[in-house]
Amino acid sequence: MANANNIAPLPATANVLDVSSLATLKRQAGRGDPAANKEVARQFEAFFLQMVMKSMREATPREGVFDSDQTRMYESLLDQQLAQVLGGGNRGTGLAAMIEAQLARQNQDPRPLHGPFPLQVDAPAFSVSREHALPLQRDAAPAFVPLQNLPLAPAAPVPPTTAPVSGSATTQRAFVDRILPAAVAAERMTGIPAHFMVAQAALETGWGKFEPRRADGSSSFNIFGIKAGANWRGATVEATTTEVIAGLAQTRVERFRAYGSYDEAVGDYASLLVSNPRYAAILGAQEPDRFARGLQTAGYATDPQYAAKLESIIGGATLRQALAGWTA
């Protein structure tokens, strides 16, 4: 009798010579049926057990009148059938149950999105790492006019603008004022446009709101999230960060470098890019996608969306408005 989904019930233990049952299983597995998921998981565990027994057979010395091609053929069939009997259920290794649970999660119905879809990627809280991450492929965001020819300017005050700005825009403009002069100097060392580096600092710190703090509450001036490795001999500060490991976000407390000023922080960041061969491909990058993807490919961060977020800030109106007083 067919079940509610018109899928025939699967046998408790398949015969290795029954090709038709395996073909039926292949058709049913694509439908996401729980019974088919259970059988797929059991078959996979049986295959695993078969490979184990095959390895054991190959490691066992063979001699005597019973050692022949015919004997090995029937022995192989016996091992396959034993694997089918032993795999799955309470008698198995537990591998089938884990695979079945994974298949069930993959076949869940998608959940509807409630509320409007965000059109602008917001800068996240302080979240960095130095481990490799997969590069993200997407169209390049529009670039600004390069700032190579801008003269060095004092960190404060900011050149005034005539247009009124909101409180949020004032905060972002103040962040740019603090680090842009040093970024212009770093541009001369790396060839990377200064506003690219400003955008990355904005991404790492949420426009300065999430800079790692010392124990007394003062800033470490670490705006690029550079960790303090074994070779770092300067001051350090501990901060909570999020790493994406095997696709899962994990919160950790890590040690980061601490500086005496933003100029020192930007200078150390530029030295890192110039001295580390991993970042050779992005030196002199003039395209936002080349810069952002190059950082992610080199392992600057574990966030799989890092390049997309950075491109969004580089090509976004927020950075353009914050730089208005400098690019006018």
Task: Give kind and range of the element (H or E) at residue 60.
Answer: none
The whole-angstrom separation of Cα 90 and Cα 50 is 18
**Is 268 part of the annotated catalytic residue set?**
yes
Concerning whether 243 is annotated as a catalytic residue, the answer is yes
> Residue 39 has which token pair?
């059988």
Burial (CB count <10 Å: 0-12, 13-18, 19+), residue 67: exposed
Q: How far apart are CA 204 and CA 309, in angstroms?
A: 10
Both tokens of residue 173?
């403009």
Which of 33, 177, 204, 243 is the catalytic position? 243
- Kindly write down the DSSP assignment for every residue of 166-177, as one continuous string: -HHHHHHHHHHH
d(CA 261, CA 282): 25
Q: Of 307, 288, 309, 304, nearest to 143 (Cα)?
A: 288
Phi, psi of 126 (to 5 degrees): -55, 115
Q: Give the sign of the dihedral formed by CA 91, CA 96, CA 98, CA 101.
A: negative
Distance of alpha carbon 95 from alpha carbon 191, whole angstroms? 53
Q: Give me the helices (H) in the chain, please.
A: 19-29, 34-59, 69-86, 95-106, 167-190, 194-205, 262-275, 288-297, 306-314, 317-322, 324-327
Q: Which of 33, 254, 263, 268 is catalytic?
A: 268
Please list the active-site residues. 243, 268
